[in-house]
């Protein structure tokens, strides 16, 4: 049996702020029923830009309920900047500590808050699972960026610790080697040569023009890390077909292929993301055959 603090038990048996805020200013949802934990957080700001109300709904264990309850209490009365400064450690400390095996519940709360604030700022639809990075743990859908962020914030050094904080590696175990490589990199134990995409980014940062091949590397990296994960949130996908100077040819897949708003997605999302990373002169064209 887990050794829960009195405060964890109190917030589990008597959770505060259960439900959803009506007409919320921000909403964030993380996790999934398939993974065993899911959390939806909503908040409303007052006239001074402070969080007047915050509520949650969660599917999970006692630690998930307690962590969500605690978080909603902690953010009330704070500005978004102050709320964003709350770490998963702060949530655990507020509760008098959590079992190491349950620290992922505090991380889930932290991610839900990030998602809700990003949603308020117009930076997402409130669902951030795998929005950034490449999926490392396929069993639980955890990305390399999530592992890096949590490892840095909590000084993690072992695969077991990563599993406790993110669930990554807690399924089939095939990702353990990759997780350890990420930990070694985060803790400065390995030196990795820059990827072609990183070298191209460095060249562009110096104001130098990119070759066509370098553009391909940057666009492939952008699609893998930001564009594809966002499209997959709504059942879509994308494939890079070719890059010809300032014209990028892509093939939309899944739900995006038949979506009546695909043209809007091409111009207002995909093309704008590529403009930021490559050049304002880039034009994106869809290949349908």
* Model confidence pLDDT, tens digit, residues 183-239: 998 888 655 667 788 888 888 788 888 888 888 888 998 898 889 888 888 788 899
Domain match, 141 and 67 both? no
Catalytic residues: 35, 105
The answer to whether 37 and 61 are in contact (CB under 8 A) is: yes
Domain match, 177 and 205 both? no
CATH number at residue 250: 3.30.300.130
Q: Look at residue 129 and tell me if it is in a domain.
A: no
Domain match, 52 and 91 both? yes
Q: Look at residue 217 and tell me if it is in a domain.
A: yes
- Rounded to 5°, the CA angle 128-284-279 comes to 85
pLDDT score of 31 more than 80:
no
Domain match, 179 and 200 both? no
71-80, 105-114, 201-210: range with highest mean pLDDT: 71-80
Selected residue with higher pLDDT from 109 and 259: 109
pLDDT, tens digit, 9 for 90 and up, residues 256-273: 888 888 788 788 888 888
Q: What is the pTM of this model?
A: 0.56
Number of domains the chain contains: 3
SS3 122: coil
Tell me which residue range forms the domain holding 203. 196-286
Asked which of 120, 149, 177 is the last residue of a domain, the reply is 120
Domain match, 265 and 205 both? yes
Domain match, 204 and 256 both? yes
4-8, 227-231, 274-278: range with highest mean pLDDT: 4-8
Task: Please state the rounded mean pLDDT for residues 96-121.
Answer: 89
pLDDT at site 24:
95
Domain match, 28 and 69 both? yes
pLDDT at site 129:
43
CATH number at residue 170: 1.10.10.1100
Q: Report the candidate in 30, 32, 36, 129 with the shortest Cα–Cα distance to residue 71.
A: 30
pLDDT at site 34:
56
Q: Look at residue 1 and tell me if it is in a domain.
A: no
Domain match, 266 and 182 both? no
Q: Which of 31-45, 129-143, 168-182, 203-217 has the lowest mean pLDDT?
A: 129-143
Q: Look at residue 280 and tell me if it is in a domain.
A: yes
pLDDT at site 16:
95
Host H or E run for residue 131: none
CA distances from 147 to 115, 143, 163, 227, 231 (A): 17, 6, 9, 20, 22
């Amino acid at each position: 049996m887990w050794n829960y603090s009195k405060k964890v038990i109190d917030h589990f048996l008597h959770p505060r702020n259960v439900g959803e805020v009506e007409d919320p200013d921000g909403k964030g949802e993380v996790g999934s029923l398939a993974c065993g934990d899911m959390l939806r957080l909503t908040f409303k700001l007052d006239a001074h830009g402070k969080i007047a109300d915050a509520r949650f709904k969660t599917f999970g264990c006692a630690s998930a309920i307690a962590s969500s309850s605690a978080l909603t209490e902690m953010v009330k009365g704070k500005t978004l900047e102050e709320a964003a400064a709350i770490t998963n450690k702060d949530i655990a400390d507020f509760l008098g500590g959590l079992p190491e095996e349950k620290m992922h519940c505090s991380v889930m709360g932290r991610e839900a808050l990030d998602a809700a604030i990003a949603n308020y700022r117009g930076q997402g639809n409130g669902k951030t699972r795998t929005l950034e990075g490449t999926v490392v743990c396929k069993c639980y859908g955890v990305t390399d960026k999530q592992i890096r962020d949590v490892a840095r914030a909590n000084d993690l050094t072992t695969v077991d610790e990563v599993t406790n904080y993110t669930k990554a590696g807690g399924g089939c175990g095939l990702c353990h080697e990759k997780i350890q490589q990420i930990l070694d990199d985060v803790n400065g134990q390995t030196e990795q040569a820059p990827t072609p995409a990183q070298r191209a980014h460095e060249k562009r940062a110096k104001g130098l023009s990119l070759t066509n091949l370098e553009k391909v590397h940057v666009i492939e990296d952008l699609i893998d890390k930001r564009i594809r994960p966002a499209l997959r949130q709504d059942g879509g996908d994308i494939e890079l077909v070719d890059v010809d100077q300032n014209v990028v040819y892509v093939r939309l897949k899944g739900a995006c292929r038949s979506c009546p708003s695909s043209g809007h997605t091409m111009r207002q999302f995909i093309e704008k993301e590529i403009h930021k990373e490559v050049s304002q002169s880039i034009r994106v064209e869809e290949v349908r055959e």
